[in-house]
Amino acid sequence: MKRLIVTLALVTFLSSTVLAGGLTLGFKGGLNLANVTGDDVEDNEMKLCFGGGVFINFPMCGLISLQPELLFMMKGMEFESYIDAGVRMSYIDIPILAKFTIPTIGALSPNLFAGPYVGFNTSAEVYVGDIVNDIKDQVKSTDFGLVLGGGLDYSIGVGELTFDARYALGLSSFDDTADEDDVKNTGIMFMVGYGLGL
């Protein structure tokens, strides 16, 4: 499964570079209300994080398009019991989204999207105030999950403004210790971007 998702991501990026007509290249960024779920998670709450990156969108058939993205995402959680304590991690995420545009009249186009993502961990640490401990060696290097969401695209000349809200559900535990705790990344994201038609 892991190899399939990574292969699909690479094929999508490579094939999109040779497609013409309807291709959109853009960037986006925004907020991630990150959290951690699982049977072994206690006393946690959402952590306000940031993320952003680039995307490519190209039509497949009719109102359906494929949109791979390359995002730098901050994730983690905060502990309820402390004023300033929690877990913070960063990932390079590659979502591959199937996007359905709802037909409308005018410049505003609502859409729905869904698809898998693979994430590559770049850092992980636990902090309590100014005390920080690196835990990257206790976190798996890859993360897998699903993205579900919806958005609005607003056409401006040859480009468009994009707004979307999405929920990322981690499907694999990121714990890489002997305990193998059930801890998964989740996040509610609000992103704004701009895409340029090529």
| Tens digits of residue pLDDT in 171-182 | 999 999 988 899
Report the 10 Å Cβ neighbour count for 21.
Answer: 8
Residue count of the chain, please give it: 198
| pLDDT attached to residue 65 | 96
pLDDT at 2: 52
Query: According to the model, what pLDDT value does residue 22 have?
Result: 79
Q: Rounded to an integer, what distance in angstroms lies between the CA atom of residue 162 and that of residue 151?
A: 7
d(CA 45, CA 79): 6
Entry pTM: 0.85
Alpha helices in 92-195 (DSSP H): none
- CATH architecture of the domain covering 2-197: Beta Barrel (2.40)
> Which helix (H) or strand (E) is 5 found in, with range?
helix 2-16
pLDDT at 179: 87
If we measure between CA atoms, which residue out of 162, 196, 187, 197 comes closest to residue 35? 187
d(CA 27, CA 161): 10
The answer to whether 22 touches 64, Cβ cutoff 8 Å, is no
| pLDDT tens, per residue, the chain with 198 residues | 555 444 545 444 444 444 445 799 999 999 999 999 999 888 899 999 999 999 999 999 889 999 999 999 999 999 987 678 999 999 999 999 999 999 888 889 999 999 999 999 999 999 998 899 999 999 999 999 999 999 999 998 889 999 999 999 999 999 999 888 999 999 999 999 999 988
The pLDDT assigned to 3 comes to 55
- pLDDT score, position 150: 97
